[in-house]
Amino acid sequence: MTFKEFADGFRRFDYNNPDFENMGSWPLGIKLLMLVILAGLIVFGFYWFAIKDSYVQLERETAREPNLKEEYQLKAFRVANLDSLKAQLVEMEDSFGALLSQLPDETEMPGLLDDISTTGTQSGLEIDRVTPNSDVVREFYIETPIAIQVRGTYHEMGTFVSAMSAIPRIITLHDFTMTAANRQRRGNANVEMESPLSMTISARTYRYNPGGAR
C-alpha cells in the first residue's frame, strides 16, 4: 500500500455514518487510528483506576519521609543511650524523693511552727505571732501561707531571715513590711536608743499533693 492509498482511505471513509458492524471493511488508516485510540483509552483507564491512587499514596508517604527519619534518629539515639537515660531516671527519682522529704505533712506543721519561733528567738527577736493561714491547692503540691510578726533590731531581723534557710524544710519568704525605727532618750544622759522594729513577713511552706498527679 502506497502512502497515497493510505491517505485516500481517510478521505473515502464516511465519518458521519461509520459501519461498526463491518469494521473489517474500514480503510487501514482508520483501523490503525481506532487501534491507537482504543489503546490510549485502555492505558488511561488503567492509570486512572489502578495507578493514580498509588501515586497519591506514594506522594503522601514521601512527604512523611523527613518526619520518619527524624523519629528514627531520635529513637536510635534513645536506644544507644538507654543505659544513660535509665541512670538519669534513677537519679531524678532519688532527687524527687529527697525534695518530697523536705515537704512537711499536716502532722509536722506544729513542729515547723515551733522551728520558726525558735529561730526567731535565737536571733534575738520577740515573736508576736506565727500563724498558718488557709491552704492553697496547686497542681502537684499544697501551699500553706504562714503570717509572721516579730520585733527586734534591724540586725536581728537580718539574722532571722538568714537563719530561716537553715530550717530542714522548704520555706520561702515573701512580702515583708517593716515599721520605721523611733529614737528615744535614756534618762538625763542625753543618750539616744533605738526602739525595736516591727516586721510582718509572709512565709510559705509546701507539702506534696498526692492527688495532683492524676
What percent of the chain has a predicted confidence (pLDDT) above 70?
Answer: 77
Q: What is the pLDDT of residue 9?
A: 65
Ramachandran area for residue 201 (φ above 0: left; ψ -120 to 50: alpha; else beta): beta
Q: What angle do CA 202, 207, 209 make, to 5 degrees?
A: 130
Q: Are 6 and 33 in contact (CB under 8 A)?
A: no
List pLDDT tens digits, range 81-96: 888 878 888 888 778 7
List pLDDT tens digits, range 185-210: 444 444 444 557 899 999 999 887 77
Question: What pTM was computed for the model?
Answer: 0.49
Q: Which domains does the chain have, with CATH numbers?
A: 1-79 (no CATH), 106-208 (3.30.70.60)
